[in-house]
Chain A
Amino acid sequence: MKFFKLFALLLPLFFLAACSSSPDKGMNGGDVAVEERGADTAGVDGQGADGEDMGAEARVVVGEDGYAGNELNDPSSPLSNRVVYFDYDSDVVRSEDQETLRAHGAYLAKNPNLTVRLEGHTDERGSREYNLALGERRALSVRQILMLQGASIDQFQVTSFGEERPAEEGSSDYAWSQNRRVELKYIGR
């Protein structure tokens, strides 16, 4: 709950930031940028490259609830982080991502009109069909944590792209680590 007080305080700042930042220019067209982890206060003044994820999604959500969209884009909030990463062939959410997911779960529980799309992805290694199933399993384990915070099952769309839509091209350990992920995409109602 302490997040919400913080949001209220910082609200005007975020609103400015949302207006001044350019739309998302992530690799996947209109999709959320995956570099959100790096978002920090530099984004608030609209200068930092990491702040640019305050784009398309925020606008959708603002229509539903004047505060919600900005809250999601508070760079200092765990809610601004909408990608969690996984180990190879694992669907276990890492301990460092638990806080992020708990925050999203609580936020969804408080905003039952919001829906989130959970997109599971894998790295390129091994069978494409197996990876498609693994991506779904990752998205489901994220959903489980979100639901433990009180979010309802109706608030989720679970999907998997397997290895078909990498966030990072290439066959390096780094690329693989970036591609084993679940992306949380808020969609209005």
Chain B
Amino acid sequence: MAPTVLRYLLLFLAMVLPLQANAVLKIEITGGSEAALPIAIVPFGVEGYAPPEDISDIISNDLASSGRFAPLEKRDLISQPHQGEQVNFQDWRLLRSEGLLIGKVSSQDGENYQVQFQLFDVYKAEQLVGKRYNVPASGLRSLAHQIADIVYETLTGEKGVFSTRLAFVTEMKNADGSKRYALQVSDADGGNPRTVLQSTQPIMSPNWAPDGERLAYVTFENAKAEVYVQELSSGRRNSVASFRGLNSAPAWSPDGKRLALTLSKNGNPEIYILELASGNLSRVTHNSGAIDTEAVWMPNGREILFTSDRGGRPQIYRVDADGGRAERVTFEGGYNASADISPDGKTMAMVHAVNGKFHIAIQDLQTGAVQVLTDTTADESPSFAPNGRMILYATEQKGRGVLAAVSVDGRIKQRLGESGSAVREPAWSPFRR
């Protein structure tokens, strides 16, 4: 086990160092699966102008970071084929790698690139998939993630999430001790980060629209919590809730037409649904003695789960989006909050406190069985990957906010650290449409 982790780490360092200049978050495998599938990824051949991104490195890094693949080290690669007819399958069988990925990148002008790849089943000596693309230099990075998704899906049967994105909030300290906050969006591997909002006031609770093109979030820029919706391509943003009291915890409905919100305009935090086109507001919860917040939609769009302390301590409840009686969902432990629902609607992730230590746990919504996935103690804000395989969350390392991810079976653990600022409030994007 330990040498495996070390190998990952070295591999990771080798792959990440050249990219470090533009990588905000970097993935470190902190716990791995012994069942990781060995795969040989041959550095892609280059013809003409050298590409600004190392495509095979990005693919290799993606696959390794999932914890489900163990890319062979470069020095172990027996030969460096770039197209099918150069492959001697016998060689690769000796390395016990089941998959073999080769490819090449060519450009006549340094602006437009032709990229091709082929993925082989080494034992069957046959090609599983092969494609060719024409992309501008600026598209190489996202193409690499796209190829990693194809490899992942071909070999595991599940959709890959390497082309998805992460939203998160960073906090930086200025020289005078004041702070500045940023809402950022990066690739799923932490690369290609960009700031979509900067503020001298805190930012909270980013939530992706199902189209992946808009984010709802909470800002304090007007000295109180208000909800904005921002379109990522244009940067255009609108205040959608600035009522008296709290305006917070936005959650898009699966159809993208409504936002569940927490508003305290009538004196107490309650769940409301805002219909975005009309601006119509309907109230979902009615419990004036309690905090009701952190709504999250079931994939069916008809039910909402939320956090409430109506029973004394925060627990998760379920209610029809049309209102009505809420029923309690969590019974294990004295503190359950911040629910997120897996894309298939079967599993709930939540913050679960045991003896004052806050962990990420999952609960089977059918059986009610709870499994604690993390052993860190200040975990918050769980967010499912769109394939339901991993849960991204915020935690602390040496007193500073970092992001981490854990697989739903608890076997794969990653940490996404950033240098220089505290990172929190992660939200994993949906699949691109």
Q: B-contacting residues of A (Cβ < 8 Å)? A: 27-29, 89, 124-130, 132-134, 136-137, 140, 158-162, 164-165, 170-171
**Cross-chain contact A160 with B225 (CB below 8 angstroms):** yes
Q: Which chain A residues border B338 with CB–CB below 8 Å?
A: 127, 129-130
Interface pair A133/B293, CB less than 8 Å apart: yes
Question: Which of B178, B224, B396, B399 interacts with A29 by CB under 8 Å?
Answer: B178
Contacts of A161 in B (CB 8 A): 202, 220
CA distance A136 to B353 in the complex (A): 22
B29–chain A nearest beta-carbon distance, Å: 26
Kindly state the separation between the CA atoms of A136 and B204 in the bound complex, as whole angstroms. 16
B-side contacts of A165, CB under 8 Å: 202
Extra contacts, 16 of them, besides A128-B381, A130-B307, A133-B248 (Cβ < 8 A), are: A28-B178, A125-B378, A126-B314, A126-B335, A126-B353, A127-B294, A127-B338, A127-B351, A127-B380, A127-B381, A130-B338, A133-B293, A159-B225, A161-B202, A162-B225, A164-B204
B249→A171 contact, CB < 8 A: no
Assess A136 versus B177: contact at CB under 8 Å? Given A126-B358, A159-B223, A159-B224.
no
CB–CB A133/B202 < 8 A: no
On chain B, the residues within 8 Å of A140 by CB distance are 267
Contact code string B360-384 (vs A, CB < 8 Å = 1, else 0) = 0000000000000000001011000
Q: Can you offer 6 A-B residue contacts whose CB atoms are under 8 A? A: A29-B178, A126-B335, A128-B381, A128-B425, A133-B269, A140-B267
Residue B164 at the chain A interface, CB threshold 8 Å = no
Say whether B335 contacts A132, CB under 8 Å: no
CA distance A171 to B351 in the complex (A): 18
The reply to whether A136 and B245 form a contact with Cβ atoms under 8 Å apart is yes
A160 to B246, CA, bound (A): 8
**A128 shortest CB reach to chain B, Å:** 6
Q: How far is the CB of B2 from chain A (nearest CB, A)?
A: 30
CB-CB under 8 A for A129 and B307, given A136-B245, A159-B224, A165-B202: yes
Q: B205 on the interface (CB 8 Å rule)? A: yes
In the complex, what distance in Å separates the CA atom of A164 from the CA atom of B204?
9
- Please name the residue on chain B nearest to A137 by beta carbon: B291
- Write out the residue numbers on chain B whose beta carbons fall within 8 Å of the beta carbon of A136: 245-246, 264, 269
Chain B, residue nearest A28 (CB): B178
Q: How far is the CA of A125 from the CA of B218 in the complex (A)?
A: 19
Query: Is the pair B293, A124 in contact by a Cβ cutoff of 8 Å?
Result: no
Partner of A132, one of B177, B204, B313, B351: B204
Contacts of A133 in B (CB 8 A): 246, 248, 262, 264, 269, 291, 293
On whether the beta carbons of B396 and A171 are closer than 8 Å, the reply is yes
